[in-house]
Amino acid sequence: MFYICQAPGCGSRAATRYGIYCSSHKAQLRRHGAIGQRAITKADLKLYRALVAARLEKNKDKPLLTQLEARWGAVLTYAESVREEARRKPMVRYRREAAIEMLRIGKNVQPGDVIETVLAMYVMQDQQPRCFKSDQAFRTQKVRRVRGLTRLNADAWTDAKTGKRKLVYRDLGQRTVTIMGGWIAEALGPAGIMFARLERKDHEKKQEALLAFRDALGSME
Ligand SMILES: [Zn+2]
């Protein structure tokens, strides 16, 4: 006997005998970090990236960006040491995979791009919390957006029959994503939370100014 997929409103057969989700919901969970989680796109993040870029610009006389770049650099140095360690002795596959993936991102993407994207994710999470079904979904989407800065989630290969180059999009396992998400959060999370808080404060200030203006209008004689 088979179980029915537990995703709301699905009703398909579970993918495996003891599984709780059908194959498409299983894939969604792996790819997006939660059932019902939609992909956060580059377009979704655009506004938040602009806010982050503006704040970095506003603070350009402070060593903020340099420090963030150093923190990102430290993640890459750490990933390098993990990769070296993996050459010398056996290691859990996910850890090695996470290190290799981080190094590929480091090689292909400008640090400033990674930083802006990650901080923008924190601001978006703060302003649109309903866009993220869970912490794991947020972590997964954050890693997805960072990987999306390069084409590295696609492996190119040549079709023997047609001679055409094809791209195969590779999904990382949940555990690899969790490790990567953890490293990114450790390096840039505190700044992300701070940026989100400052954006919120600015927003509240604007609202207060608007209310004060309305009050002033209301008390006019
Ligand atoms: Zn399903």
In three state form, how does the secondary structure of 33-102 look? Answer: CCCCCCCCCHHHHHHHHHHHHHHHHHCCCCCHHHHHHHHHHHHHHHHHHHHHHHHHCCCCHHHHHHHHHH
pLDDT in the model for residue 3? 85
CA 173 – ligand 1 centroid, Å: 19
pLDDT digits (tens, 9 = 90+) for 17-73: 878 899 999 999 989 999 999 999 999 999 999 999 999 999 999 999 999 999 999
pLDDT digits (tens, 9 = 90+) for 184-212: 999 999 999 999 999 999 989 988 998 99
CA 16 – ligand 1 centroid, Å: 12
CA 179 – ligand 1 centroid, Å: 27
pLDDT digits (tens, 9 = 90+) for 167-182: 555 778 889 999 999 9
> Are 147 and 219 contacting, i.e. CB atoms less than 8 angstroms apart?
no
